[in-house]
Structure 1
Amino acid sequence: MLVLAHVSDIHIDSEPRSIERAARVFDYLKGLPGEIDAILVTGDLADHGLAEEYETVAKLFSGPRTLLHCPGNHDSRGPYREILLGESASDEPINRVHRVGDAVFAMCDSSIPGRSDGFLAEETLTWLETVLIEADDTPVFVCFHHPPVVLHVPFVDGIKQHGEERLAALIMRYPNVVAVLCGHAHTGATTTFTGLPLLVAPGVVSTLMLPWETDKIVDLDAPPSIAFHILDDDHRLTTHYRVISPRL
């Protein structure tokens, strides 16, 4: 059995608010009495893509638990690489593969520098296919920031991942893909993509409101939330969502 904590959209900036909310989430995860296999953070780690923001992110990410991450549209590839990955600055897509237990995680870069919407570059799709081939029969989670589907929330649907038919054609060729994990929407959501689970993590920094809930777009006061994904020995995936309230 594999247990994953799925976090997204921490949007760290210079303000105490974003840092407190993210720290609340990571303190909760680091303090869990039971074991989890990994923490996944699906993008928008920094709010302005600044080096000092990534320095704060690096401190939040420190600790003994396995932590995997990928960039979002608010991230900047240069300082992201330098501070979080210890690499030279480059504007190439940041794609990384990790093996955790009996599963493989393809952390893909769906960002387009200077834009809010998403797209998987051809080099990213080529890289992903190599990951899927080399994984053989091992379960694979495909992870990125931008949802490749409409979530029926106008604000986020306008800046979704485009060109998703290319990703769909690729995934359909490889039955070892068990789910697609993403963020960007600032609201927890579950749907399907090519018949597989597509699971959207809630936002940490804020919650996007649904159009039939209220006239405002975002709620800055709602507490941060996360998702727990469990892949059992039969490769059945179960997800629980958890609100992280302030400690009293």
Structure 2
Amino acid sequence: MIVLAHVSDLHLDGGPRSLDRAARVFAHLDGLPGELDAVLVTGDLADHGLAEEYEQVAKLFAGPRKPLHCPGNHDVRGPYREVLLGEQASDEPINQVHRVGGAVFALCDSSIPGRADGHLDDGTLAWLESVLDGAGDDPVFVCFHHPPVVLHIPYIDDIRQSGTDRLAALLGRYPNVVAVLCGHAHTGAASTFAGLPLLVVPGVVSTVNLPWESHETTDLDAPPSIAFHLLDDDRRLTTHYRVVPPGA
């Protein structure tokens, strides 16, 4: 069985509030008595994409569980590469593949520099195809920041991922893809995409209200939440959502 902890949208901005919330989440994960095969962070690690924000992120990620991560629309590729990946600054998409616990994690960059919405460019789709070709029969999680479907939250739907027919056609050719994982919505959601489970993790820094819940778009007081994805030996995927309470 593969056990994956999934968080998103830390938005570290140099201030104490965002750092405190993110630190609580990672302290909670580090303190779990059971094993995790991986921790995944699907974007918006920083709030302004500044080097000093990524230095905060690097310290946060220095614990015993080393997160896999991909950028979101608040991230900036140059400082992200330099501080978190130890690479030369570049504006090229940050696409990474990791093999962990018997599964392949394809971390795609859905960000568009200078914009809030998302898109997988042709180069990223070609890269993803090569990853899927090389995965053999191993289970694959396809991960990025922006949801590729409407979630019926107008604020989020206006800045979701576009051009997704190309992605759906690609994923449809690979039966070993088990799920699509993303963030961006700052609220937990479960849907489908290309016949696959689409699992959206809640936000760490804040929670976006559903339209019928409140006239306010964002709840800054709701506690951060995480998801645990479990892939069993029959490749059945189960997801549990958990709140990280104050003092955890």
- What's the TM-score bracket when you normalise by the shorter of the two chains? over 0.9
**2-side partners of 1:150 and 1:30: how far apart?**
34
What letter corresponds to residue 221 of structure 1 in structure 2? D
The normalised TM-score by structure 1 is 0.99
Give SS of 1:69's match.
Answer: strand
Number of equivalences: 248
**1:180-239, Cα deviation, whole Å (9 max, x unpaired):** 000000000000001110000000000000000010000000000000000000000000
* Corresponding position of 2:196: 196
The answer to whether the Cα contact below 8 Å between 2:187 and 2:201 also exists between their aligned partners in 1 is yes
Superposition map of 1:218-229 within 5 A: 218-229=218-229
Report SS of the residue matched to 2:41.
Answer: strand
Letter in 2 for 1:175: P
Q: Equivalents in 2 of 1:193, 1:175: separation in Å? A: 13
Give the deviation of 1:82 after TM superposition.
Answer: 0.2
Within 5 Å, which residues of 2 pair with 1:46-57?
A: 46-57=46-57
Residue 13 of structure 1 aligns with which residue? 13
Q: Is the partner of 1:146 in helix, strand or coil? A: coil
Provide TM-score, normalisation by structure 2.
Answer: 0.99
Residue 148 (1) aligns with residue 164 (2)? no
In 2, Cα distance between the equivalents of 1:71 and 1:59? 17
Match of 1:102 in 2: 102
Residue of structure 2 in register with 1:172 after alignment: 172
Q: Is the 8 A contact 2:14 2:56 kept in 1?
A: no
Using the aligned pairs only, state the percent identity: 76
* Matching residue of 2:237: 237
For structure 2, the residue ranges without an aligned partner over 5 or more in a row are: none
What amino acid does structure 2 have at the position aligned with 1:68? L
Q: Report the 3-state secondary structure (helix = DSSP H, G, I; strand = E; otherwise coil) of the residue aligned with 2:165.
A: helix
Q: Which runs of 5+ in 1 are unaligned?
A: none
> Which position in structure 2 is the counterpart of 1:210?
210
Q: Is 2:204–2:224's contact at 8 Å kept on the other side of the alignment?
A: yes
Q: CA deviation at 1:66?
A: 3.5
Equivalence for 1:38: 38
Q: Within 2, Cα distance between the matches of 1:216 and 1:123?
A: 38
2:70 equivalent in structure 1? 70
CA contact 1:37–1:66 (8 Å) conserved in 2: no
Contact 1:145 1:183 (C-alpha < 8 Å) held by counterparts: yes
Tell me the residue number matched to 1:4.
4
Correspondence for 1:157: 157
One-letter identity of the residue aligned with 2:76: S
Counterpart position of 1:80: 80
SS at match of 2:23: helix
Deviation at 1:136, TM superposition (A): 1.1
- The alignment partner of 1:99 has SS state of strand
| 1:167 maps to amino acid | L
Q: Which amino acid aligns with 2:6?
A: H
- Residues 46-77 of structure 1 show CA distances to partners (whole Å, capped at 9, x for unaligned) of 00000000000000001222410000000000
Q: Residues 155-187 of structure 1, C-alpha deviation per residue, up to 9 Å, x if partnerless?
A: 000000000001000000111100000000000
Shift of 1:246: 1.1
Are the equivalent residues in 2 in contact too, given 1:110–1:145 (CA < 8 A)?
A: yes
Structure 2 counterpart of 1:194, which letter?
A
The one-letter amino acid paired with 2:131 is V
Q: 1:13 Cα deviation (Å)?
A: 0.5
- How many angstroms does 1:15 deviate by? 1.1
In 2, Cα distance between equivalents of 1:64 and 1:217? 35
What is the one-letter code of the residue matched to 2:102?
Answer: D
Residue by residue over 1:111-149, the C-alpha shift from the partner in whole angstroms, topping out at 9 and shown as x without a partner, is 000000000010000000000000011100000000000
Q: What is aligned with 2:134?
A: 134
SS, match of residue 22 in structure 1: helix
